[in-house]
Amino acid sequence: MRHYETIYIVNPNLTAEEHKDVLNRCASLIEKNKGVTIKTEEWGIQRLAYEVKKFDKGGYVLLNYCGEPGLVVELERDLKLNDRILKYQTVKIADKVNPQDLLQNEKEGRKETAVTQEQSPPKPAEAAAEAPGTEPTVEEESNA
């Protein structure tokens, strides 16, 4: 199977129910075409760099999945026909991957991130910046 990543922008005026319907539709399309969804990240509503279909904001969604090449064609066809999707882009990450390994890495990665954030002490630079009355100094190079 191949590993793909699709980022798509959803209409910002959708209700929560309609937004979930768009997400579920993409996930079910992947499963229907014998693919595996690795993760779905919602990045929230962001300002667009330029207007797309008369919208200056959009809801960004990152979809990470595995499947055969025909899956991408089918997913992009569905995204193109869906009026609630403003824009999309798909990138192939790898040619031959095991989806179970990716799912396992995703689960372990989230656990490691949570553990590291809880246990890591502040770095010396951060501690100095947080100390009241002290400012970090920067040495200037002389151009002689």
Whether pLDDT at 128 is above 60? no
In this prediction, residue 104 carries a pLDDT of: 80
pLDDT grade for 124, boundaries at 50, 70 and 90: low
Domain assignment present for 136: no
User: Which CATH number fits the domain that encloses residue 86?
Assistant: 3.30.70.60
Sheet of 85-94: strand order equals 36-52, 55-67, 2-10, 85-94
Domain assignment present for 72: yes
Query: What is the span of the domain harbouring residue 92?
Result: 2-96
pLDDT digits (tens, 9 = 90+) for 84-121: 999 999 999 888 888 788 878 877 776 554 444 555 55
**Number of domains within the chain:** 1
Whether pLDDT at 123 is above 80? no
Distance of CA 106 to the CA centre of its chain: 13
